[in-house]
Chain A
Amino acid sequence: MKVARVVGTLTATVHQSSYDGQTLLVCAPVDARGAVVGDVFVAVDRAQAGVGDTVLVNAEGGGARLVFGRKLTDPLAIQDVIVGVVDAYHEE
């Protein structure tokens, strides 16, 4: 899973049906010091995260389908899902 910071919100009225009713947030991957370490990406929020939060992102579709209570074979076209809000994170 990836650690990222929520940096913005995304509005998309026209979307594929997998995204009906979902909250989309723009996230930037960060290291333990909070520095951005890659390109921004879009994630579906399933942990009531907000802008500025450091979050845990499941970045793979099989886990995403399980988070949504779907079977692994269901056609849910979602990859990145925010599954937790990080309270503390350090690297030794």
Chain B
Amino acid sequence: MYLGRVVGTCVATQRSPGLEGIRLLVVEPVDNSGRVTGAPFVAVDTVSAGPGEMVFLVGAREASLALEQPFVPVDAAIVGLVDEVHMADGAKGFLRGRDDARGPQ
């Protein structure tokens, strides 16, 4: 599993069977401090994440296991909203409300 930040939404009217009604969000991968570590991608949302929120995701086959129908063609799923990342060695962590840049609520 890995950390990411929601940066947008994705609209797709024509979908593969099983993907109907599933929220698609644009996510960029981040490290423990929220620094971006890669290119943005699209993930399905299972926890009602919003723009700017730090989340954690599961990839590969397990992404579809997070959905109600477990045989759906997805390879990334948002499975948790991160409240806090506490780093033991004094490295920069993350705290919801202090470190997230959320969009309009």
B101 CB-CB contact with A under 8 Å: no
A30 CB-CB contact with B under 8 Å: no
Number of A-B contacts (CB under 8 A): 105
Size class of the A contact interface (CB-based, 8 Å) = 20 to 34
A59 to chain B, nearest CB (A): 10
B93 CB-CB contact with A under 8 Å: yes
Are B47 and A77 closer than 8 Å at their CB atoms? Answer: no
Are A12 and B65 closer than 8 Å at their CB atoms? Answer: no
Are B81 and A52 closer than 8 Å at their CB atoms? Answer: no
Of chain B, the residue at the smallest CB distance from A42 is B1
Interface of chain A, main secondary structure: mixed
Are B87 and A78 closer than 8 Å at their CB atoms? Answer: no
Are A78 and B62 closer than 8 Å at their CB atoms? Answer: yes
Which residues of A are found within 8 Å of B46, using beta-carbon distances?
16, 77
If A52-B88, A80-B1 touch, whether A8 touches B93 (CB-CB below 8 Å) is yes
B70 CB-CB contact with A under 8 Å: yes
Are A12 and B82 closer than 8 Å at their CB atoms? Answer: yes
A75 to B66, CA, bound (A): 7
Interface residue ranges of B24-65 to A (CB < 8 Å) = 29, 31-32, 37, 46-48, 56, 58-63, 65
A77 to B72, CA, bound (A): 13
Which residues of B are found within 8 Å of A7, using beta-carbon distances?
32, 87-89, 91
Partner of A12 from the list B61, B77, B81 (CB cut-off 8 Å) is B81
A40 CB-CB contact with B under 8 Å: yes
Are B80 and A15 closer than 8 Å at their CB atoms? Answer: yes
CB within 8 Å of B: which residues of A? Answer: 7-16, 18-19, 24, 26, 39-44, 51-52, 60-61, 64, 75-80
Known: A10-B84, A12-B83. 13 other contacts (CB 8 A): A9-B85, A13-B81, A16-B47, A16-B66, A16-B79, A26-B32, A41-B1, A41-B2, A42-B1, A52-B88, A77-B58, A77-B77, A79-B62
